[in-house]
Amino acid sequence: MGLGDKLRKARDYVRKRWGPDSYFQYKRKREDQRKDVEQGRERARDHAEQERGEEKLGREHKERYAADRESDIAEKRTEKAEEIEPDP
């Protein structure tokens, strides 16, 4: 057996093991697909969590500033009432 035969066998082995139709290529593609799906789920989960956090902050913001506006309006009403009523 010459060097050419050994190289041919090695080439055939590599083609069989790592060629486009090999099990290893199939396995690698499946693993990549699983990783992509898992990363997509994780991104969706993170996005949903972020949305919930923003909604919560928005509600808190509205409640806080609604209370501030009401207190400002009450202060202005008392100031106007004091201006209308002269002090004796």
| pLDDT tens for each residue of 61-85 | 888 888 888 888 888 878 777 777 6
**Which is more confidently placed, 42 or 82?**
42
Highest mean pLDDT out of 32-36, 51-55, 64-68, 73-77: 32-36
Query: pTM value?
Result: 0.49
Domains of the chain by residue range? 21-83
Tell whether the model's pLDDT for residue 87 goes beyond 60: no
Read out DSSP for 5-47? HHHHHHHHHHHHHHSTTSHHHHHHHHHHHHHHHHHHHHHHHHH
Hey, CA dihedral for 74, 80, 81, 87, is it positive or negative? positive
